[in-house]
Amino acid sequence: MIRVARLVAVKDLRVEWRSRVILWQVLPFGVMTLLLMGFAEGPETTLSPSVAAGLFYVVVLFVSMLVIARSATIESSPGTANSISMLGLDPAGVFLGKATAVFLEVLLSALILLAGTTLLLHLPLALALHSLPSVVLVVMGLSLAGTLYGALTSGLTGSPTLLPLLVLPTMAPLLIAGERTISAIATHQTWSSWLGLLIVFDVGYTVAGILLYGVVEDS
């Protein structure tokens, strides 16, 4: 399973590296959205860390939607599904591989956007650094759940609109937990319970993906 996961992750990352869509399209979209958030707030207003964190996670969510859609598109291109079924790859490994590739791509984007949030929305740098564990866990959850939902909607005529409809409500707990973690760190409150929620979410979707990805792939 691990070998298959590594194989699929390297394949997806190589496809991404060659196309450079994340670098030239997805990341500029994320930075532009952050800028627009600043415009919407106006020059007179200073955002609280809680609001800045919330906006950061919303932008990460949008960016992850694009990455997940791209990841699902790779698998639904003509012949790919047949090739995978002919190779007899372990579906759990394929799921983990695809989720790993999405995780690395979204994490890279999230780190750049976090730097952008400290710069543009004045999120304190120390706070941003302290919140890194929660950012990693949120991105992990986005990748795991997104990969599963991406497979569910792949190959369907309405998949570009269906994917956000399915993914966005599912991500709400991640968004809330991520934002609450940063707010709790900012106000010196305990935040371990939020990390606990994120870990439970990630473990839940890892198990669900390993068990159910094969069922979706077969269909």
Partner 1 sequence: MKKLAAQILGPTALVTTALTVYLGIWVTPQDVVQGNLARMLYIHPAAAWIALYVGFGTAIIASLMYLWPRTRSTAADHVAASAMEVTLVFTILTLITGSLWGRPAWGVWWVWDARLTSTAVLAVLVAGYLALRRAIDDPELRARRSAVLALVAAINVPVVHFAVVWWKTLHQGATILTPGSGILVHGIMAWTMLLSFIAFTLVYAWMVRERYRIAIRQQTRDDRELAHAVSARHSEGGAA
**Shortest CB 156 distance to partner 1, Å:** 5
Between 126 and 200, CB nearer to partner 1: 200
199 binds partner 1 (CB under 8 A): no
Between 61 and 128, CB nearer to partner 1: 61
**Shortest CB 1 distance to partner 1, Å:** 19
Segment interacting with partner 1 (CB under 8 A) among 27-35, 91-99, 114-122, 149-157: 149-157
Segment interacting with partner 1 (CB under 8 A) among 41-49, 75-83, 98-106, 146-154: 146-154
**Shortest CB 173 distance to partner 1, Å:** 5
Between 18 and 82, CB nearer to partner 1: 82
**In 3D, which of 171, 169, 168, 150 has the Cα closest to residue 159?**
150
Three-class HEC string of the chain: CHHHHHHHHHHHHHHHHHHCHHHHHHHHHHHHHHHHHHHHHCCCCCCCHHHHHHHHHHHHHHHHHHHHHHHHHHHHCCCHHHHHHHHCCCHHHHHHHHHHHHHHHHHHHHHHHHHHHHHHCCCCHHHHHHCHHHHHHHHHHHHHHHHHHHHHHCCCCCHHHHHHHHHHHHHHHHHHHHHHHHHHHHCCCCCHHHHHHHHHHHHHHHHHHHHHHHHHHHC
**Shortest CB 207 distance to partner 1, Å:** 10
Contacting partner 1 within 150-179 (CB under 8 A): 152-153, 156-159, 162, 165-166, 168-170, 172-173, 176
Structure-token pair, residue 136? 């990693």
218 binds partner 1 (CB under 8 A): yes
Residue in the block written with tokens 């020059």: 43
Phi, psi of 70 (to 5 degrees): -65, -45
Segment interacting with partner 1 (CB under 8 A) among 14-22, 85-93, 123-131, 207-215: 207-215
Structure-token pair, residue 150? 């991406």
204 binds partner 1 (CB under 8 A): yes
Distance from the first to the final alpha carbon of the chain:
21
81 binds partner 1 (CB under 8 A): no
For residue 82, the one-letter residue type is N
Between 182 and 197, CB nearer to partner 1: 197
64 binds partner 1 (CB under 8 A): no
Contact set with partner 1 (CB under 8 A): 145, 148-149, 152-153, 156-159, 162, 165-166, 168-170, 172-173, 176, 193, 197, 201, 204-205, 208, 212, 215-216, 218-219
